[in-house]
Structure 1
Amino acid sequence: MSMTGERPDRTSADDHHLAALGYEQKFDREMSLWANFALGFLYLSPLVGVISLFAMGLAAAGPPAVFWILVAAGGQFLVALVFGEIVAQYPLAGGLYQWGRRLWSGRYAWILSWIYICGVIIGITSTALFSADFVAGLFFGTAAEPGPESSPGARLAIALAVTAVALLLNITGTRTLARISKIGLAAELLGVLAVGLYLLAFERHQPFSVFFDTMGADGGEGYLGAFLGASLVGLLLFYGFEACGEVAEEVPDPARRIPRAMQLTVLVGGAAALLSFAGYVLAAPDLPAIVAGDVGAPVPAILQNSLGTVGTKAFLVVALTSFLACVMGQQAAASRLVFSFARDRMFPGSQWFSRMHATRKVPMNALLAVNVPPLALYVFVFYSPDSLFRIAAFQMLAGYVAFQMVVLAALRMRLRGWRPAGAWNLGRAGLPVNVAALAYGVVAIVMLAKPSGDAGLAFYDRWIALIGFAVVLLVGLAYLLLARPGRDSTAPEGDALEVADKLRSLRPRS
C-alpha cells in the first residue's frame, strides 16, 4: 500500500525507465532535488575554491582576475546543459562512464572513466590535505597569526581523520549523504553570503573601479597576457556539478531533477564565488601588497582584520564543514562510478566491487576501495610535502578532458541523428550548445595544460599538469590494450539512437 498519492506512480516510472536501460533498481531513491544540488555545490565549493585561488589570481592579473569567474561559469554552464540532456536519457549510477559508453562504446568509456577516476582520487587527496591548515587555524590560530601552516605530521593526521569521518558517514547510506549535503550547503551559503555582504557593506576599503586596475600585475608585458595567466581562477573552480549525475539512481524523478541540480550548481556556485572574491578584494586594506605577493595568507588576514578572531574562527568552522561534505561527495561520486564499472563487468574483481550492502543500499566495497589510493598519497606527501601542488596540478586537467570526451561523444551522436529523448532537453538549441561547449572545453584544456609562466622552475615543474596527465593516459591505454577490460561485458553500448526511439515509444500518447 502507498502512503502518498503520487509516490507509487513516480517510483514505477523511474523503475520502468531504469529497466528500459537494462538495469534493476538497487539503490534507495532518497536524495531530493535540493540534496542533489547540495552534493554538486559542495563538490564545487566556491568558498574553499576562492580561498585557495585568491592570492594566485591577484598575483597573476590583479583585481580583474575576478572576471574569470564569469568566463568559466558561462563555459561550464554550457557543459552542464549538454550533461543535462544526456542524464535525462540515461539517469544511471556512474554518470560519466555510462554516458560515454552509451554515446560511443565501452572501450571509449573505459579510458574516459580511468582519467576521471584518477582525477577524483586526487581530488579526495588534495581536499583532505588542504583542510589541515583550516583545522590548524581553527584550533591553534591567534590574533597575530590567524592561519598557521600545519606540519607534515599534522597534515597527515588531519587528512586521515577527515577521510575516515567522511567514509563512515557515507557508509550509513544515501539518506546521511543527502542530510550532510544539505547541512553543508546551508553552512557554506551562510558563510559566503553573510561574510561577503558584511565585507561589502561595512568593511570596504577599495573603490569598485579597482576591478579594472591591474596594480602592476602585468609586469609591464601587457594586460592580456596577465589576464590569460589568471585563467586558473575560474578554470580550477568550476567542477563538481557532474557529481549530481553520478548518484542518479538515488534521486526520484532523476530525468527532470538532475539537469536542474547541475544548472543550479553552476549558477549559484558562480554567484557565490563572485560575491566572495569581490568581497575579499574590496575589503583588503593593503591590496597592492597582496598583488605584489607580500602577504602569505591574504584571506585569513582580511578576515582577521574585518571579523576579528572570533568571527574568523566561526568562518573556519563553516569552511571545515564544506571540506568534510566535499570529501563525502567525492567519495560518493567515485564509488558509484566504480560500482557502475563493476556492474558491467569492466575489470577484474567486478563481482566484489558491484556488491550492494543489503540494508544500507550503498556499494560498500567500491566505497572502501576508492579511499585506498588517497591513503598511499597521504603518506607520499608526508615524506615529500612539496609534492602536494604537483599532485593537485593534474586533477583539473583530467576532469576537463573527461568532461570534453563526453561532450565530444554527444556531438558525434547528434551528427548521426540522435535527438535526446529524456524528460529534459534543449530541443533545436541542443546542437549549437553542444558545439559551443566543446569549443570552450578545448580552449580550457589548452590553458590548463600550458606550462607555468615562471621560467625559473625546472622543466618538470613547469609542465607538471601535462606530464601527470600523459602518465595516467599511457598507463590507462596500456591496460586497455593488454588486459582488454570488458571483453566479457554484455552491457549495452553506443545505443543512444535506439534508446531514444524506445523511450519515445513508452511515453503515453495524448
Structure 2
Amino acid sequence: MTEFLDPPDAAVRGDAPEPEKFKRSIGLVSNFSLGFTYLSPGAGVLSIFALGLATAGPPSIWWFPIVALGQLLVALVFGEVVSQYPITGGVYPWARRLWGKRYAWMAAWIYIAALVVTTTSVVQFAIPFLANLFRIGLSPGSGVVIGLSLLAVAFALNSTGTRTLALVARIGFYCELVGVVGLGVYLLLFERRNSFGVLFDSMGIAADGSYTWAFMLAALVGLWQFYGFEACGDVAEEVKNPERRVPLAMILTIVVGLVAAFIAYAGFILAAPNLQDIIDGNVADPIPEIVRGSAGDLGMTMLLIVAATIFLSAALSQQAALSRLLYSFARDNMLPASRWLSTLHEEVGGSGAVPRNAMIVSCVAPMLITVWLYFKPDSVVAVTAFAVLGIYVCFQMVVLAALRQRIKGWSPGGPWSLGRAGLVVNVLALVYGIAAMVLLAVPGDPTLGFAERWIVLIGLSVVLVVGGSYMVLARPYGSSDAPEDDAIEVANQLRRKQSSASGN
C-alpha cells in the first residue's frame, strides 16, 4: 500500500501487487530532476545543434517554444491522469485504465520500442563528446566501445537503487544549469559575434524555393527536445505524495527545459564566429569550435566534462523509465518471462527495491542497436526520428483515451485537476500531437530512395505488425485481471471518499 493512502484507496486505484517493496524516497526536486535529465535540454542542444542549423538556419530555434507549448498541453492531460492513477509505468497503466488491456498493450509495446531507440540515440550523440574528453581517436570501433561502456555504467548506477538514481538526476540537473545554461548566458553576454536579428534570418537556406518547407523539416529540433517529462510519472510509486507532485514536476520539466534549451541554443548561434560555414554544413562538430574560440581550451575541457555528466544522467534516467515500464507491464503478466521481469531486488543498503531484471533488458536492448549502428552509421538521424515518432504515438494514445473518457462523462478524480478547462486542453493536445506526428513521418530529401525516405514509417509499421501479431496470437492480455477502463468509476469512488472524509 502507499504511504498516504489507506487500503480502500489502493484497491480503487489498482496499485501494484507489491508496491510496498518500493520506497517512497523521491521528493519533488528529485522527481523534477529525473524528468529534466531525461528531457535534457543540454543533451538535446548538443545533439541537434548542427542538424538544426543545416536544415533551417538560426530560425530553427523557434521550434523550442512551439513544441514546448504543445507538449505542455499534453503534460496537463497527463497530470490529471497520474493524479488519479499514481501508478508505476506511466503510459501503460494510464492507457489501460482509460481504455482497456488490448489498447494498453499496444501503447506499451510501441513505447518500449521507442524508449529503447531513444536511449540508443542519446548514447550515439554522446560518443563524440566522450571520445574528445578521454582523448580517444574516434572510429566506428571505438564508438561502439564508448557507447556500450556508457550503457553499462548507467546500468551499474541504476542497479544500486532509487537513491542513486535521484542523486545522479540532481547532479545532471545542476550540470545542465551551471554548465550548459551558464555557458549560454556567458556566450550571450560576453562573446556575442552575431546580432539577435540572425535568429530570424534563414541565411540563404532554400533561397531558390520555399523556406517554409525547410523550416518544417527542422521540427525535429523541438520534437526531439521536449519529451521525457513523462518519466516523472513512470516512477510514481517511488515519489512522495505523487498525486500532487508528479503533475507539478512534469510542468516544471517543460517550462525550465524550454528556458534552458533556448538560452543554450541562442548562445551557440550568436557566439559562432563561422555561422555561415555551420549552416552550409562545412563544420561537422561546431559546438566544440565555438566554445574553444570563446572560452579557450579550459572552457572546452569543462564543457566536455559537463557534457559527459549530462549524457550519463540522461541515459540513466531513460534506462530507469524503461525498466519501470517493463516492470509494470510484466507484473500484469503481459510479456514473455513476466515473472522474471517483475521480480524486485533489494537496493544496495537494503532500504528499498529495484526491478533489476527489467533493468538488464533496458541495458541490453540499446546495446544491441548500438552494435547494429556500427554497420549502419548513417542511420542515426533516421533512428532518432523513429524514436521521437514512437514516443509521440504513445503520448497521443493516452491523450485520445483521456478524451474518450471525457466524452463518456469522466471528470478526473485526483486532487490535481484542470476543471472545466480539461476538455479544451485535451482536444488541443490531440490536435497538436497529430500535427507533430505528421511532421515526423513526412520524408525530407526527395533524392533518397524509397526505403531511405520512408524509413521512419517503415520502422513504426514493423513495430506495429510484430506487436499486433504477437498480441493476436499469444493473447498476453488474457492472463491479466488488472483493472481496466474504470476511469469514471474510480473518479466517482474517490470523490465519495473525499466527501465522506470532509464530512467527518
Q: TM-score range by the shorter chain?
A: over 0.9
Pair 1:492 & 2:483 matched: yes
CA distance in 1, matches of 2:384, 2:274: 30
- Name the CA shift for 1:14/1:363 in 2 (closer, same or farther; >3 Å): farther
Match of 1:86 among 59, 76, 81: 81
Which residues in structure 2 correspond to 1:12-411 (within 5 Å)? 12-13=4-5, 17-23=9-15, 24-140=19-135, 150-358=138-346, 359=350, 360-411=352-403
1:214 & 1:12 partners in 2: Cα distance? 54
Shift of 1:128: 2.0
TM-score, length-scaled by structure 2: 0.95
Shift of 1:184: 0.8
1:43-83 deviation line (CA, Å, top 9, x unaligned): 11111111221122222222111111110000001000000
Letter of the aligned partner of 2:387 in structure 1? Q
- Per-residue deviation at 1:310? 1.2
Q: Tell me by how many angstroms 1:502 deviates.
A: 1.1
In structure 2, what residue type is equivalent to 1:479? Y
Show CA shifts across 1:149-205 (max 9, x none). Answer: x21111111112111111111111111111111111011111122101110111001
Cα distance between partner residues in 1 of 2:45 and 2:6 = 38
Indicate how the Cα distance of structure 1 residues 337 and 264 shifts in structure 2: closer, same or farther if over 3 A, else same. same
My pick for the range that moved more, 458-467 or 76-85, is 458-467
Instruction: Determine which of 496, 505, 509 is the counterpart of 2:502.
Output: 509
Letter of the 2:46 partner, please give it.
I
* Residue in structure 2 matching 1:471, options 462, 470, 477: 462
In the alignment, the residues of structure 2 paired with residue 195 and residue 243 of structure 1 have an alpha-carbon distance, to the nearest angstrom, of 27
TM-score computed with the length of structure 1 as normaliser: 0.94
In 2: Cα distance, 1:341 partner to 1:58 partner = 40
Q: CA deviation at 1:14?
A: 7.2
Q: By how many angstroms is 1:391 displaced?
A: 2.7
> 1:177–1:328: 8 Å Cα contact kept in structure 2?
yes
Q: How far apart are the structure 2 equivalents of 1:91 and 1:21?
A: 8
The alignment of Structure 1 onto Structure 2 pairs a total of residues equal to 494
- CA–CA distance in 2 between the matches of 1:139 and 1:346? 43
SS of the aligned residue for 2:165 comes to: helix
User: Cα distance, 1:389 vs. partner?
Assistant: 3.3
SS across alignment from 1:348: coil
SS of alignment partner, residue 169 of structure 1 = helix
Structure 2 distance, partners of 1:45, 1:347, is 30
Q: Deviations over 1:15-64 (max 9, x none)?
A: 76434322343210001111111111111111111122112222222211
Contact 1:58/1:217 (8 A) holds in 2: no
CA distance in 1, matches of 2:313, 2:194: 34
CA contact (8 A) 1:39 1:181 kept: yes
Partners of 2:152 and 2:363 within 8 A in 1:
no
The alpha-carbon deviation at position 13 of structure 1 amounts to 2.8
Tell me if the contact between 1:193 and 1:272 (Cα under 8 Å) persists in the aligned partners.
Answer: yes
What does 1:390-469 correspond to in 2, within 5 Å? Answer: 390-452=382-444, 454-469=445-460
Contact 1:59 1:293 in 2 (8 A): yes
CA contact (8 A) 2:220 2:385 kept: no
Indicate the SS of the match to 2:354.
coil
* Cα deviation code 1:270-292 (max 9, x no counterpart): 11011011111110112122112
Instruction: Report the 3-state secondary structure (helix = DSSP H, G, I; strand = E; otherwise coil) of the residue aligned with 1:140.
Output: coil
Farther off after superposition, 201-210 or 23-32: 23-32
Q: Check conservation: 1:88, 1:254, Cα contact below 8 A.
A: yes
Contact 2:291 2:300 in 1 (8 A): yes
Please report the RMSD computed on the Cα atoms of aligned residues, expressed in angstroms: 1.6
Q: Which structure 1 residue ranges, 5 or more long, are not aligned? A: 1-7, 142-147
Gaps of 5+ in 2: none
Instruction: Give the Cα–Cα distance (whole angstroms) in 2 for the partners of residues 230 and 341 of structure 1.
Output: 35
Q: CA deviation at 1:233?
A: 1.1
Contact 1:129 1:158 in 2 (8 A): no
CA shift, 1:223, in A, is: 2.6
